[in-house]
Amino acid sequence: MTMEDGSGTTGAAPPEGVVLGEALEILRHLPDACVDLVYIDPPFGTGQERRLASIRTGSGEGVRRGFGGRLYRWEVASVHAYRDDMPMEEYLAFLYQRLREAHRVLRPTGSLYLHLDFHAAHHARLLLDEIFGCERFLNEIIWAYDYGGRPRDRWPRKHDNILWYAKGPTWTFERDAVDRIPYMAPSLVGREKAARGKLPNDVWWMTIVPTNSRERTGYPTQKPERLLERIIAASSRPGDFVLDFFAGSGTTGVVARRLGRRYLLVDSNPEAVAIARRRLAEPVERGLPLG
């Protein structure tokens, strides 16, 4: 089976769905130039295991003091974890090999979003400059949120870094498909513009997945659907092929499917694959998730 990529070359179609496997091994089986958009949110190079325990209240041996001083019982309902404990040099070599493959499988008009944080974003930018060429750098998106602890000795680190690179000199940017945000000073732009809102710039203020939200799966470092919605809506078109080979709980696939894109998700953790498959077995919800 072949498909046109709109630029004169053709590539065989990649498989679709959710695959349990090691990213590099799966990537090596994909044909050249078959993917329109890669979004990856790999382990960040934190040097630690990433673990999230969900608790169930009302039963169990644990006791906690809650609102109004009331005591309630709790127990651990599930624990999900994945490893992120490679030494930095090994981690960067690991990332480099997989980024090279990502570049190979992208179509000439495709692009890649690499989601990291302060641990490795500065190193990764140099890797991507080498693989894609520094002239193919498009943006460093700052995803700013406000959650978690606040150290007393420095500014709280409350953003992730998302590096966006194009494979070739032209790429997809569907600016009219992107959600709009309020102007900071609406009185300066007139009523009509203020009502329409503005195109976001490269700093995106969005909440993390709230503990009590419908989309919460209990998988550590799950990303919000709204974040993926903006990326996929802007950088692909209906029918395009989206690849995420560090897929975790499957957020990329859930949003890709909702927006009418094809997708391939890969993760080496059976727990992640089970969660992603469960999410994708649910009926498609049309419309935007709440911000």
Ligand X SMILES: C[S@@+](CC[C@H](N)C(=O)[O-])C[C@H]1O[C@@H](n2cnc3c(N)ncnc32)[C@H](O)[C@@H]1O
Chain residues that interact with ligand X, rule: CB under 6 A: 22-23, 41-43, 82, 219, 221-223, 245-246, 248-249, 251, 266-269, 272
Q: In whole angstroms, what is the distance from residue 108 CA to residue 123 CA?
A: 25
| Closer residue to ligand X in complex, CB, 23/166 | 23
Q: In whole angstroms, what is the distance from residue 289 CA to residue 225 CA?
A: 7
For residue 87 the two structure tokens come to 């030494």
For residue 276 the two structure tokens come to 């992603």
Strands 241-244, 17-20: parallel, antiparallel or unpaired by DSSP?
unpaired
Q: Count CB-CB contacts under 10 A for residue 129.
A: 15
Helix 270-281 vs helix 251-258: angle between axes, to the nearest 10 degrees?
20
Q: Which strand (E) or helix (H) includes residue 258?
A: helix 251-258
| Closer residue to ligand X in complex, CB, 235/269 | 269
Structure letter (DSSP) for residue 119: T
- Min CB(34)–ligand X separation in Å: 19
| Closer residue to ligand X in complex, CB, 162/234 | 162
| Closer residue to ligand X in complex, CB, 109/233 | 233
- Min CB(73)–ligand X separation in Å: 29
What is the chain's Cα-based Rg? 20
| Closer residue to ligand X in complex, CB, 124/266 | 266
- Min CB(180)–ligand X separation in Å: 24
- Min CB(10)–ligand X separation in Å: 28
For residue 132 the two structure tokens come to 């894609």
- Min CB(232)–ligand X separation in Å: 13
| Closer residue to ligand X in complex, CB, 236/249 | 249
| Closer residue to ligand X in complex, CB, 3/52 | 52
For residue 137 the two structure tokens come to 């750098």
Burial degree of 138 (CB within 10 A; 0-12, 13-18, 19+): middle
- Min CB(281)–ligand X separation in Å: 16
- Min CB(219)–ligand X separation in Å: 5
Q: Count CB-CB contacts under 10 A for residue 197.
A: 14
Q: In whole angstroms, what is the distance from residue 212 CA to residue 62 CA?
A: 20
Residue nearest ligand X by beta-carbon distance: 248
